[in-house]
Structure 1
Amino acid sequence: MSRPQLAEARRVRAGELFEQGALNAVIARAVGVCAESVRRWRRMWEEGGVSSLRRRAAAGRPPKLDGAQVEMVRAALARGAQAHGFEAGLWTLGRVATVVERVTGVVLSRASVWRLLTGWLGWSLQRPERRAVERGESEIARWIGHEWPRIKKGR
């Protein structure tokens, strides 16, 4: 159960207890909230009944991408950055914005791209390791095994 659903279930349970005539302190303990929340819910319940305690649709501007478009973007990103003509295989906000525009025709800001990636797609920030291309693992192992003990002894 998501957090908003859990909160709604608590309010509705409190509404049921209001109808039974329970005291605010008893209701607060029963649903696990503070007494002030119960007082606020009781005022709402008195004005509009149990329906006033239910969740309302999210306010504000609707998202620019619908569910189908998000899935199109997910599929496009799964093919990798190089499949979309980028030289390196790393995704940046700018590259993702370009792919979103190509796939859906919708222009997103960098902030909106970030919300899309982290909120809708479940991605997280990943930073590549900074290692030299010329790095020689065998030479590093030899140095750690032979040179470092010799240097450490000399102290």
Structure 2
Amino acid sequence: MALIDGAHQLVKVPIVLVWDRLNTHVSRRMQQLITDREWLTVFLLPAYSPDLNPVEWVWAHVKHSPANLAVVALDRLEAFVRNRLKRLQYRPEILDGFIAGAGLTLKPSPR
């Protein structure tokens, strides 16, 4: 939750998370932490559903671009991935496509 709080402090906008059903994501403690943050909306995926997880689409997109990249140092690979993720930040239509492709909408469900 510290990472999510830090991201919220950085971007200063509401955050929407799509989570799998990892035990820490569905615990009572996590549910309380989510409830305490009005700016946070969480969607839980059905059990084992990688095709419904937009994050899988994002990583597939990011991993597709370095197919022929030869990296000589880990920090260069990290910079490359950060650059590709940053580019996606300014292309919301692509991110919307990943969400739509997974059959999801951004309409918040009642808490």
TM range (shorter): under 0.3
More RCO (CA 8 Å, sep 6+): 2
- Structure showing greater radius of gyration is 1
Scaled by the length of structure 1, the TM-score of the pair is: 0.20
